[in-house]
Amino acid sequence: EAGVAQSPRYKIIEKRQSVAFWCNPISGHATLYWYQQILGQGPKLLIQFQNNGVVDDSQLPKDRFSAERLKGVDSTLKIQPAKLEDSAVYLCASRSTGRGSYEQYFGPGTRLTVT
């Protein structure tokens, strides 16, 4: 079974530029999450999707971050404009909605550096 795929793996941009990250979850996983992991910290939830609907975006900085999952499969996370403090690894995770399936499976992440 293929894991969660993310691209690009690395991105370097200047502050005030925009950037987008892509995620393809494990096949059949209806629930998708985006997390932000700053160096030395644990991942922090940004947004959760169930199919193509948003379940929780309470920690998403909506003035600059946006995310979509139009067809209930792939998802895109965008930052516009980027700030220095957005430098982090952006992790995508997915989960089966089968009964008793609560564990989330993570992709390799996209490392963003804002200069």
CB of 16 to other proteins, least distance (A): 27
- CB nearer to other proteins: pick between 19 and 95: 95
Per CB under 8 A, 71 contacts other proteins = no
* 29-48 footprint of other proteins as x/- string (CB under 8 A): --x-x-x----xxxxxx--x
- Smallest separation (angstroms) from other proteins to the CB of 104: 6
Per-position DSSP letters for 24-90, written without gaps between them: E--TT--EEEEEEE-TTS--EEEEEEETTEEEE-TTS-TTTEEEE-TTSS-EEEEESS--GGG-EEE
* Min dist. Cβ of residue 81 to other proteins (A): 26
Question: DSSP state, 20?
Answer: E
Two tokens, residue 99? 């009964």
- Report the nearest approach of other proteins to the CB of residue 105 (Å): 6
Instruction: Please calculate the CA angle 76-91-40 and round it to the nearest 5 degrees.
Output: 145
Q: What angle do CA 98, 77, 97 make, to 5 degrees?
A: 5
Does residue 102 belong to the site contacting other proteins (CB under 8 A)? yes
Q: Does 109 bind other proteins (CB under 8 A)?
A: yes
Structure tokens at 91: 């992790």
Binding residues (CB under 8 A) for other proteins: these are: 4, 31, 33, 35, 40-45, 48, 50, 55-56, 58, 91, 93, 95, 102-109
